[in-house]
Amino acid sequence: MTTEKLVIDIKGWLKEAADFIRSSLSSELSVSQKSGRTDLVTNIDEETQSLLIKRIKENYPDDQILAEEKGYDSLDSLSGRVWIIDPIDGTMNFVMEQENFCIMIAVFEEGIGKLGFIYDVMKDELYWGGKSLGVFLGDQQLTKPKDLGLAEGLLGMNAYMFGENIHSAREIGHASMGVRVSGCAGIELIEMLKGNHIGYISNLSPWDYAAGLVLLEEFDFTYSNIKGTALAFSGREYFLAAAPKAYQEIQARFLMNE
């Protein structure tokens, strides 16, 4: 299966899913809580995921799928080709703001990220790319951002981590040029790809970061859990991605305050 066909297929499915989501905004949502009142899922999250999984199974029936909703949220291994899907990243924003949310799809092969797609639905902007392909906004190839230190740029961050100063997040934020909170991992990763932010600190699940990792690697960003070891691709974990200089400084501060 060629990379070109995968890209064409995924772009088509993202457009189909985004059209469905936008058309749903005029309808009444069915909103449920998962782990608490700020951890939401809607019928549109679930229906969007079902649409994407149906397309994958129709075209790539032998592949594995890891996705946020409806029993697809764990895998025993990343062997073979694995699709990692977040049907609506930033569900709270989707419900409360009707903007600042993304669809994210990653394709991994034998544990290695091959393709990543982050689609800002309401802006109709698709950031995508892959291993040795580069990173694109639509058809325009993006330029690798500058490698800046912590004090030289803005830092995306999880609001709860900053507010409660978890793992010294507040002190790290104060050492940067400023903290920005969007409530959507996809939006934060886009800001890094554009060179607007030097890094992102949060508490994420695999579908929140998988697509972004493929694209960040193309721009030589560094990423890990906050202990500096490899991400588990299982459950939620504290996540750090940053420009190499900023990453080293942030990681040193994490370790200093352990």
- Contact in structure between 158 and 201 (CB atoms under 8 Å): yes
Q: How far apart are CA 12 and CA 7, in angstroms?
A: 9
Say whether 220 counts as a known binding-site residue: no
Q: How far apart are CA 144 and CA 221, in angstroms?
A: 10
Say whether 45 counts as a known binding-site residue: no
Say whether 208 counts as a known binding-site residue: yes
Say whether 68 counts as a known binding-site residue: yes
Q: How far apart are CA 120 and CA 125, in angstroms?
A: 5
Say whether 120 counts as a known binding-site residue: no
> 230: burial class by Cβ within 10 Å (0-12, 13-18, 19+)?
exposed
Q: How far apart are CA 12 and CA 10, in angstroms?
A: 5
> 200: burial class by Cβ within 10 Å (0-12, 13-18, 19+)?
buried
Residues annotated in a binding site for Mg(2+)? 68, 86, 88-89, 208
Residues annotated in a binding site? 68, 86, 88-89, 208
